[in-house]
Structure 1
Amino acid sequence: MSLGDEKGYGSGSGRTDDGYSTIGGTRQTRTRFPDGEGGDGYNTPRRPARNSRSLVMVVGVVVLLFAAIALANMGGGGGDSNHSSGKAGSKPDSSSTAATGTKPVTGKNGTIASGFAHDEQGAQSAASNFAVALGSAGMFNADTRRSIIQATHDPAVVEGLLAAMTKAYSPAFLENVGLNEDGTTPSGLTFVSRTVPVGTKVVEQSGDTATVEVWCTGLVGMAGQGSTKPVTATWFTISEKLKWVGGDWKVESSSQTEGPTPVNGDNRASTADEIAGAVEGYGGFTYAR
Structure 2
Amino acid sequence: MKLFILGLGHVGKALASKLKADGHSVSGSTTTLEKVAELEKLVDSVHVLKGEESEKVVAAAQGCDAIIVTVAPNVRNTRTKEEREIHYEQVLVRSCASANMACPRVIFLSSFSVYGDGGEGSAAIDENTPTANHQEPSSKYYQLAEQQVLKSAQGCVLRFPDMYGAPGDFSFPQRVKMAMDYFAGKAIFSADAPLYAIHFEDVVNAVHHVISAQLTGVFNVCDNDNVPATNKRVFDAICDENAWPRLEFLDQIKAPKRKISAAKIYATGYQVKHPDPNADVVARVSV
Q: Which has the higher contact order (CA 8 A, sep 6+)?
A: 1
The structure with the largest helix share of the pair is 2
TM beyond 0.5 = no
The structure with the largest strand share of the pair is 1
The bucket for the TM-score relative to the shorter chain is under 0.3
Q: Whose Rg is larger?
A: 1
* TM-score under structure 2 length normalisation: 0.27
